[in-house]
Structure 1
Amino acid sequence: MLITGGNCANVTHVGNLYEHIFNNYNRKLLPLVDYSDTVNIQMSVSIISLNNFDEMSGELDLTMMFFATWEETRISWTSADYGGATSLLVAPEDLWRPQLFLVQSFGSLQDVGNNSIMPRVYANGTVFWKPGMVIKVSCTVDVTYFPFDTQTCALTLSGWSYDAEEVLLQANRNELDRTHYSDNTQWDLYQTNVTSLIYGNEIPSALLIMLKLKRRDQFYVIYIIIPLVVLGLINHIVFAMPVASGERMSVAITTFLSFIVYLGMINENVPPSSSPMAYLYFYVMFLLVYSSMTMFLCLLSMIIHDKQGPVPETLKTIVIYLRFWCCRKSRRTDIRLRKVSPDEHNANVKSIPVFSETESLPDVMSTATDNVPAVTWTVVGDTYDRWVSIALSMIFIIITVVIFVRLFLNTGL
């Protein structure tokens, strides 16, 4: 139980030192001679590992070490009187130690430190105590920007039993020590902060530990994001397939069912939350509506292609403008003046068409210069497919860019 820091001390020296220190010592009292003073506990915190983060329940498991230093004014000795012993490890149950609690404890209130961690006492009365433990704390999860989300977890270490004028907790460092930290495969600990909280003399002081965790998103990008985008691109390509193949509707329905499957996969990976709700859910719902619209428009395309009979003049005009046939140049005869022989002149006169009195020259010229192909229902269907595909592509690209730009720009980094 007793270990000396000196090089020449023997068991007799250590035994005498122990008797000297704890003779008439009461570990239930504050380490003060004058109770008008305050016990100042200097603390630093080290994180060893992030063991688990259950996003469903909000439980965060951490392995941490707490380094506490304070002055025990009732203890001191001259090292030369005890074989040169400058420090002594003592049984934790024999020495006063602060009672520190985690306010955000998960399940039950956890106190920091246990009887297995031995404090070290120095000859000048300084006590150094470094308890380590696996702690379970509650952390509120915000999945709005999943899988590019960041989570901020707060741990409050409080001396709940004491007023600030009795015991004062002070942070030695403004961040966690990560010298022995082991990286987590799912979360990146990219920022920490440690601050002292002092509300007043009659309110317990506390140590606030802030952890910012960034989700490692590579798995979700490859497993969810990229397949969703690719399926969305495939969805409107059905209008590029030949109508005669009969596979348009099959591809559209298969794509729709694929979105249903990915919705189930997202439910397994994203914590269920209605406030706030992950933007990825909105994106998948858009894809479902988008895919349903594609099936409906694909069915309408097949009806148009199979339609028989004349095309209405209004629809012909619309098709001509949508295919930009109205911009085509009319075919006109290139008339040039040149000298001709009498025989050639007589031949040309014979070849001039004779118009009836009821037939006007402008009508004939209009018919002769027309360069627009005939508009059939097949042409109408092809035009419909072309413009529907362009419209769906624009809608998909705009919504996808807006959603993912919002995700990337609002991750809190």
Structure 2
Amino acid sequence: MVKRAKGHLARAERLQNATGALATASMAAMDEKLPWFGKLSAQDRSWIGLVAQSGITAFVEWFRDPEAHPSMPTGMFSSAPREFTRVISLHQTVDLLRTTIEMIENTIGDLLPPEDVPVVREAMQRYAREVAFAAATVYAKAAEMRGAWDARLEALVVDSVIRGEADESVRSRASALGWTGSGTPGAGGTGSSEVAVVVGRAPEAPGNANVADAVRHAAREAGADALCAMQGDRLVVVLGSTSKPVEIVQRLVEFFGPGPIVVGPVVPDLMAAVTSARAAVAGLRAAPAWPGAPRPVQADELLPERSLSGDGHARRQLASDVYGPLTMGDGVLLDTVSTYLDSGGSIEATARTLFIHPNTVRYRLKRVSDLTGYSPTNPRDAFTLRVALALGRLLNPAPGSPVL
């Protein structure tokens, strides 16, 4: 036993004396067999050489006494700077390991006595397996750190959009997260740069950390950009590169929690996304007032509920876009739709009240629908028109003058 131990130590010493030649041969083999290695900068190649030297030295120490250095393979990467994982990919690292192992196997026969070669090769195979696991661990940790940083950056970008603080720095951060702003024509994309903000409840299931990744992937499959963040009990998604966000959101419904999903209006770009965000958030707050709302629902479809819940933008929009056009001219359209709504939706009763033919009422109601986009004969649209008329009279008591 003692004799065997002395023989092993002597073999380790001979291997120790060969480390310099092995390190030099490793760098030469990398330069010869790996085309991308020669394209690296001198500093990057020195980093890799440092790791290779550290790995060979660590192998010798581990070979001398494996039980005393069980974690030696993992420690070999500690000599490389943090940027190492950004310089070369995991695939390239595997190529480096394979090249180094092949070089050692082919070289030790010239550097060591014949009786040492089988023992060292067997040990090298075991050690190479541990080094491969160590490399995978290094890259996994680096990817985890990048993922955590990207998640924080994405949450910051979405928060800036919601708060109306989007500027060029936010656009730059979004670009770093893969936001193109150009879209992918086909597969639901339009190749445009329109943006819409979507707000709904966060999923209730625990472990929803992967929701953002799933949302981005599904949106990308539909041809749109997406930024996603959890804000308390709500899930906020900023969709880009699509002029039809509702069609995209229909593919994302499964990632939201129960309850309404509100899609803000489309705006030109990320810088103007606060307008869409404001409408979507207000719509989510007001959506319970319309139990039969579709899912998803556009924020503009919730204008009456939003105005009742205190949304000043919705009030002004109804007063200007719905009430305002009806006050133009002689005001007969305003009188007609008001009488029609007060008559319970009866065309005949409206005609009798206004002393006109029922066909004239029908014509005027058609004009109201063309001007405002809301048909008085539709119950939902009639409700919106009634709220718009009330708001218009409150905000602009004098018919025919500009809406305040």
Common fold by TM > 0.5? no
Taking structure 2 as the reference length, the TM-score comes to: 0.31
Compare relative contact order (CA 8 Å, sep 6+) and give the higher one, 1 or 2.
1
Flag the structure with higher strand content. Answer: 1
Flag the structure with higher helix content. Answer: 2
Taking structure 1 as the reference length, the TM-score comes to: 0.30
